[in-house]
Structure 1
């Protein structure tokens, strides 16, 4: 990478533009207001409201800190560049800092794509097996682990709401709540059918198998979003957890299944420690799904929240994961691909997430 004064002028402008589209000044004012509220006497008397304000403040603080770090890095990179003009010994450091700066600015610019109502908030990610029998259950478990690792790499907090083990191998289903800045916006890239091709570990003849699993991503709805649920319309069943939970989870009737009778929607949650916690989590998922149904009725575009729906089978996948006869992961929308399958399954999917949003933004621009 060739460094010159013009490059730093461009980087400075990109940072200034980021301050505008991220509304940094507005966020600083809002954070100051929330911090003032949190320091008032009796703030924690209303625990639910206090937690919500604290969470809002945390999101604002993270966004401001991300921009502040980029500005600080710009100063360091520019200083190293100026020193390198007089002493070549600083050239390597200047190049390294500038490369890191460009990556951070790209992350800030990526944030500008998440302008939807719920994009900046938390997400509920569900994985269900498709065609492929036992292989599909195992594939569901592999994706479950992949997303847990990805969230960990992003510094997001995860809560496993449901992870129901198959009788033989893998999972019958899995649901995770993922909390972090832009979690829902980022993870919208994963909505759809994921296809795996490999030698089956359950096939004695070691034949190649193709299997599928579908990923659904919903927003965690803020409290101010009203979703009217008539308690008489919801059947609540409790049962003993079959998941891999910790102490007490598998020894009491703590698992909860909600059936919304008018729509037929079924939500299960079994990985929290108490029946009350499972019930609260299940209602959180049910609210999100009912909101989605209402949004579909009002919206002209079917993919307003969830993306286009696909049959969970061959020909409908968004991404292929090939482990045999060669190794390749390829997104069929953005064209992003890599031969490092192991890294992807260990949660290194940022290239696919960002690649999707770049592709989607370009498609939207062309559509206009």
Structure 2
């Protein structure tokens, strides 16, 4: 037990030191003072969007810095208690201390993850595009399962979810869907989810109860705000209107209100059909296009655009970032971090935080 406690103490100390390096490198204390000074200015609250963004940044920086100080204090107390309990051979105190340190390690790791959410786009809301791969009903059902997973995750976080567009499958599921999620640091949390997701299961659509493998692609990009300027030329756009598709009934539009915009230089396509007004759908499309172009430029700067586009172009073998196996065994495995879960039903019900955290750790190794 003594060795385990010493390991916990050492691990927590190392992580908290990395957080201190982040705080010092990014001059967090002086940033907070600067934000507080800005908030005292008479015109601070006039621009609601800008003030909202500033308050969000302040909240995150305060959480990181205050948690760092609290952990530093708890670590010192734990170290002293360990020395005392160990010298007196008090196993009851040592047992309680081990449990407390295990929880403290979880807290300090969560605090470190917040440090990873400090890039320019991380605080933004996000769009999620879901596309079924080849395989008809099987893949379309899988695409719908993935959409449900992200919606459930967002609901657990008390985030706001909106449907932008959807093309339903011929028999079940969806061919494609775009949803918008609004909440604190949504893009930062989900940015590494882009890629191919693979499902292995006994097909509910196969009368022979055979095992099937299905693929679907996920595409994550940030919902940009007015502070980010993206130049879009009218001559570079092709705008098409079409009739909205849906499950049928009185709520399906009978006019050509759905809008599709193609950005010719990059071949980026966005579409929206959630509003009855063509004007509103076009406005949403333009916002989505702005977001996609911003994401495209980020990837270009990181020299990842070629790799990303090649991944998106082929929804099948060899490109999957995560596998979800329901038969013949139960396992969800991330192919980039090697993180695993033997509870796929929980993962598909939106419990994906551990996968997201591991991706963030991997990104910052």
TM-score interval (norm. to shorter):
0.7 to 0.9
Contact conserved, 1:220 with 1:284, CA < 8 A, in 2? yes
Name which of 203, 209, 213 aligns with 2:216. Answer: 213
CA deviation after TM superposition for structure 1 residue 50, in Å: 1.2
CA deviation after TM superposition for structure 1 residue 307, in Å: 9.2
Alignment partner, residue 50 of structure 2: 52
The alignment partner of 2:40 has SS state of: helix
TM-aligned CA distance change 1:4 to 1:209, over 3 Å: closer
Alignment partner, residue 30 of structure 2: 26
Write the distance in 2 (CA, Å) between the matches of 1:243 and 1:93: 57
CA deviation after TM superposition for structure 1 residue 217, in Å: 1.4
TM-aligned CA distance change 1:97 to 1:153, over 3 Å: farther
Alignment partner, residue 183 of structure 1: 186
CA deviation after TM superposition for structure 1 residue 138, in Å: 0.7
TM-score normalized by structure 1?
Answer: 0.79
Residue ranges of structure 1 left out of the alignment (5+ in a row): 363-368
Contact conserved, 1:200 with 1:206, CA < 8 A, in 2? yes
The alignment partner of 1:196 has SS state of: strand
Deviations 1:140-179 (A, max 9, x none): 1111011122233344443332233223211121222233
CA deviation after TM superposition for structure 1 residue 288, in Å: 2.4
The alignment partner of 1:127 has SS state of: strand
The alignment partner of 1:278 has SS state of: helix
Whether 1:150 and 2:153 are equivalent positions in the alignment is yes
Write the distance in 2 (CA, Å) between the matches of 1:10 and 1:324: 37
Whether 1:356 and 2:354 are equivalent positions in the alignment is no
Write the distance in 2 (CA, Å) between the matches of 1:258 and 1:181: 29
Residue ranges of structure 2 left out of the alignment (5+ in a row): none
Write the distance in 1 (CA, Å) between the matches of 2:254 and 2:68: 50
Name which of 198, 201, 216 aligns with 1:198. Answer: 201
Contact conserved, 1:73 with 1:97, CA < 8 A, in 2? no
Whether 1:242 and 2:240 are equivalent positions in the alignment is no
Write the distance in 1 (CA, Å) between the matches of 2:306 and 2:332: 24
Write the distance in 1 (CA, Å) between the matches of 2:213 and 2:37: 54
Contact conserved, 2:9 with 2:79, CA < 8 A, in 1? no
The alignment partner of 1:228 has SS state of: coil
The alignment partner of 1:98 has SS state of: helix
Aligned alpha-carbon RMSD (Å): 3.7
TM-score normalized by structure 2?
Answer: 0.80
Alignment partner, residue 104 of structure 1: 107
TM-aligned CA distance change 1:151 to 1:59, over 3 Å: farther
Matched residue pairs, number?
Answer: 356
Deviations 1:105-157 (A, max 9, x none): 11222334445442343322211111111111111111101112223334444
